[in-house]
Amino acid sequence: MNELPNNPEHANVAAPAPAAPAAPAAPAAEPRVPDAPGLFQKPQNIAILALAVLLALQTWSTHSRFNKLREDVARTLQKDSASNAETAQLVRDTQETAKELQVKVGVLENRQAESQSQQAALEQMYQDVSKNRDEWALSEIEQVLSTASQQLQLAGNVQGALIALQNADRSLSRSDKPQFITIRRAIARDIDKLKALPAVDQAGIALRLDNVISQIDALPLLSDEKPAEPIAPTRVNPPARAGAGKAAAPAVAAAPAPALTLGQRVTATWRNWSQEMWDDMRQLIRVRTVDTPEALMLSPSESYFVRENLKLRLLNARLALLSRNEGTFRDDLATAQQMVLKYFDTKARSTQTVQGLLRQVQANNVSIDVPDLSESLNAVRNYKSKP
């Protein structure tokens, strides 16, 4: 161990110095003690030193990491504390909110229970109202059909009954209930029956009667007969000369009359005088055959009442037409025609026109066999009688 390493440097140190020139003699030098071996010359020392350095670095690094970890843990704990505080506050808020929600839920449950009870009551009320509404609608339809049936039987108002049936069917169609199908079928059959009836032109007949009534005041009465206009006297011209022809007649008329003899003048005068006397006698007496002599003896006031009575007869016939009373209608028309024949001049053109209008009116059929609405009424009543 004590052997020195074979190092050239150490060898140089240990080797004796080369011989120097002789010098003056000096005192003898002390013997040199060899140096101890270096600290860094051994590998073990280097390894220990490196290990120590590494341990120091590791210790320092560990200490630094530990301090950093401690700081991180402190910060984390601080954050956790703050989060815990916030969480606790949130928990308290949540608990309060939960309590409030529980209260609100309780209120809502109570309201829901009330709402359910109100809904049940409303449903029951709706059912009652719907049932009552159907009953009201059926009662109204029954009343309308009953009135239409009465009008149909008493006055023959076919159009009014048809409108009533159509309105009833329209009202039932809006409900869309299958229970009303039977009623609608009965109403449809009655509608078909009414549409199949022959049409009566009441408006046209009434217009003809109004036309006749407006012409009554202008009709000539038999008592209104006036004497004829006097006829102009016809003078007899003297005979023409025998030698004159037809071609010469205009020339003779245009020429001045030739002088007449005394006998010719006397003859012409006698003829003219006798012709005038005969015309006057014909105007004095007129012979006419009249079946009702009392019609010629009407005074002006009686003539007025005759015209008014004729108007009343025609107005009664018009009312009978509107009420479809055929017996009264035809009686009034027959009476009116008899009055026209008895009191009015049938040779006048206006009287003949009125008679023609009355005959046209009398030729129309006023009364028709109308059916009843019992089928529709029975259908409505049977439905109402069901429980």
Q: What is the residue-level pLDDT of the chain in tens, covering all 387 positions? A: 344 444 444 444 444 444 444 444 444 444 554 454 555 567 788 888 888 888 888 888 888 888 888 888 888 888 888 888 888 888 988 889 888 888 989 888 888 888 888 888 888 776 666 566 777 777 888 888 888 888 777 766 778 888 888 888 888 887 767 777 888 888 888 888 888 877 677 778 888 889 999 999 888 887 765 544 444 544 445 444 444 444 444 444 444 555 667 777 888 888 888 888 787 776 666 555 555 666 666 777 888 888 899 999 999 998 888 777 788 888 999 999 998 888 888 888 988 999 998 888 888 777 677 777 888 888 888 877 775
Residue by residue, DSSP assigns 49-103 as HHHHHHHHHHHHHHHHHHHHHHHHHHHHHHHHHHHHHHHHHHHHHHHHHHHHHHH
- Helix, strand, coil fractions of the chain, as percent rounded to 5: 70, 0, 25
Distance CA 186, CA 372 (A): 12
Distance CA 31, CA 33 (A): 7
- Spatial CA neighbour of 211 closest among 294, 314, 320, 108: 314
- Collapsed DSSP state (helix, strand, coil) of residue 243: coil
Which contacts (CB < 8 Å, 24+ apart) does range 74-81 have? Answer: none
